[in-house]
Amino acid sequence: MQPGSIVYLSTAYLAPVEYYMQMQAFSKTVIEKHCNYIKQTYRNRCVIASANGLQTLSIPVEKPETLKCLTKDIRIAEHGNWRHLHWNAIKSAYNSTPFFEYYEEEFIRFYEKRYDFLFDFNELLRETIVDLLDIKPEVGYSSEYKTDFLSNETDYRESIHPKKNPVITSFKPYYQVFESKFGFQPDLSIIDLLFNMGTESVLFL
């Protein structure tokens, strides 16, 4: 950890492993609330490893009334029965992992209840995940959209992105249930690490 260092991150749905590695690497994390919402990012999607390969899960969102809408104001859409589909996909992908049964109840509750705002849903999930990882990052939220950063501040808000290479260039391999079929898949959703490695997950961050 770099003493006094601050990292700025976007909100993310079941964020990739790198996201939590950055929380561990910096003294404080600031999660952006005031950026304009951008499609096809980790804000509303995650990537898991299924028996058929990598699978992307996307939360449908309501189309904003204006061209630009702050991420904190984006509402979750209920069409497409997405909560049922996401949980079934997660269960199908991970029910044979060593720790799925151990954590199942912690996650299923998020798919049994309706949430209005994407940001709130993501944050409640993130708070649960850091508890399960047994890490205690100092986390705050932006009060405005910042474009100028001090020397001890790092902006990764748009760097951790499904269409970009990870900022971190190497990942410590861990056991994955489908590794024999597809090889090790780095930087998947944090639930991949949790369900496969359980309480040892923190050692890989």
Q: Give 24-49 pLDDT, tens digit per residue.
A: 999 999 999 999 999 999 999 999 99
156 — pLDDT class (breaks 50, 70, 90): very high
Domain boundaries, the chain: 2-204
pLDDT for position 37: 94
Quote the mean pLDDT of the chain: 95
pLDDT for position 85: 97
Contact call for residues 14 and 126 (beta carbons, < 8 A): no
78 — pLDDT class (breaks 50, 70, 90): confident
Higher confidence at residue 94 or residue 4? 94
